[in-house]
A and B are shown apart, each in its own frame.
Chain A
Amino acid sequence: MPEDRALSVTEAMTIARAALEGLTLLHVIGEVSEVTDKPGYKAVYFTLGDGSSVMSCLVWRDAYSASGVVMRPGMLLDVSGSLTVYPPKGRMQFQVRSLSPAGEGVLRMQVAALARALEAEGLMRPDRKRPLPEYPERIGLVTSPRGKAVHDVIRTLRRRYPGAELLIAGVAVEGADAVAAVTAGLKRVAAEGADVVILARGGGSYEDLMPFNSEQVARAVAGCPVPVVTGIGHEPDTTIADMVADRRASTPTAAAEAVASAYSELASHVAHLSQRLARGLLHTTQAAAHRVARVAERPVYRDRTVLLGVRAQQLDAAADVLSRALPLRLERDGSRLAGALGALLRLGSRLGERSSDRLASGAARLEDLSPLAILRRGYAVCYDATGTRVVRSARELARGDRVRVRLNEGRADCTVDTVESEA
């Protein structure tokens, strides 16, 4: 080696690169972070880490597409490839030839696939989510009988909403039996009459939460006859049970808070209702009193003559008109009649025997001239519908008009069927 000659940076990097690329193919498992996957780029860049070391990686787009993997931060990835150097940045990077999910990565993929299937089935539709009962009488709790979660819920409910009975199914929430136990617990609390169910567990690793990602538990949650609230403490992960539940809370305590309004809120609601009740009655009685007062203020009640005064005056006026009109008319007609009778009698005395006949026929003719007598002879008078105006011509009528026909001994209201005008 020419130790004495100074190398350019490029030469140094070339040596490093040759050394790294001389290594055999490496097989590495690590957790993905910082994924850069941009459509224009020839490669996908990401970082693999294990908590104490990190490694910059790239995978050519072809190889990435062929793997079928969709990288997400946090997933465990099983990669094969070789180390190299990227001289422009002076950085060592791992060039991935092949990749596949590893460990939790596999679990996550399975969970994601189940989630997609259940979503396609409609189990996560917003309209499936039921509202929680406002004032539950019995609250079901399915959780481990050990640990913090169960006590968090009991304490929260005791503080906020002590009136409800708490039905607890203490079941295994992790391990081989957990799926069956959680499912049985959900059924049991619902069968015992819970109005709402809390499904809770404290935080844990992704693997620990797997029972809550099982299809069986998901279906038990979705099929529960009363609303289910999950309080599965492991942000930011969302389990499938969370997705199908009617309400998701981030912790057991938050789930208990979601189920029960605070005692203080209830008490103030009752106090508020009490005030509104009193005000409501006041409102009604005041309204009634006001109505009475308003009526009492009317002139009619204040002064009796107001009610009758106008009418009385009208009556007086009418009586006056009548008293003036009637006698005048009668007097006139009476004197005329008297005159006519006198003339007839004089005539009669001159005509002797037959005069009485003449008189009778004369009287009959007089009578014939009366409109009423004309009616008796079979004539009729046609008025308009209001009975005030005489219809004098067929031309005034149209089909469907209502008319009033005055006949002997009465009248008839008629509808015009046809009209035939003459001339």
Chain B
Amino acid sequence: MEETKAPEEMKFGEAIAELEGIVASLEGGQLDLEDSLARYERGVALLRACRAKLADAQQKVTMLMGELEEVDAEE
């Protein structure tokens, strides 16, 4: 496999992009069985990482300039 980065260390976008590539290659049906299995395994790891990222997402806000004025709850 050309990509060997650990899925947990990848950015969400990178992981999704690689996963999409794997899915497309499996759907293409041009791979031999061993390659398919290896890619599938990689895809599962990427999926797990993507799901974890989505589940753990916590908004982080950083004020670079100025001070945020809180407003009364108006949601």
Q: A137-B12, A277-B47 given as contacts; is B69 within 8 A of A146 (CB)? A: yes
Question: Which residues of B from 1 to 40 have beta carbons under 8 Å from A?
Answer: 11-13, 16, 19-20, 22-23, 25-27, 29, 31-33, 36-37, 40
User: A170, A185, A188, A263: which contacts B54 (Cβ < 8 A)?
Assistant: A263
B33 (CB) vs chain A CBs: closest residue? A288
Chain B contributes a number of interface residues (CB within 8 A of A) equal to: 41
Check B65–A135 contact: CB distance below 8 A.
no
With A270-B47, A273-B47 as known contacts, state yes or no: A167 contacts B57, CB within 8 Å: no
Within 8 A of B (CB), among A276-332: 276-277, 279-281, 283-285, 287-288
Closest beta carbon of chain A to B42's beta carbon, Å: 10
Q: Across the interface, do B23 and A280 meet the contact criterion of CB distance under 8 Å?
A: yes
Query: When A and B form their complex, what is the total count of cross-chain residue pairs whose Cβ atoms lie within 8 Å?
Result: 125
Q: How many residues of A contact B (CB 8 A)?
A: 47
Cα A171 to Cα B64 in complex, Å, equals 10
Name which residue of chain A comes closest to B67, CB basis: A145
CB distance from B47 to the nearest CB of A (A): 5
B54 and A148 contacting across the interface, CB-CB below 8 Å: no
With an 8 A cutoff between CB atoms, is A150 at the interface? yes
Least Cβ distance of A283 to chain B in Å? Answer: 6
**A145 & B69 in contact (Cβ 8 Å cutoff):** yes
Contact segment of A19-27, A34-42, A155-163 = A155-163
Chain B residues in 8 Å Cβ range of A277: 19, 22-23, 26, 40, 43-44, 47
Residues of A within 8 A of B (CB): 133-137, 145-148, 150-151, 154-155, 157-158, 161-163, 165-171, 184-185, 188-189, 192, 263, 266-267, 269-270, 273-274, 276-277, 279-281, 283-285, 287-288
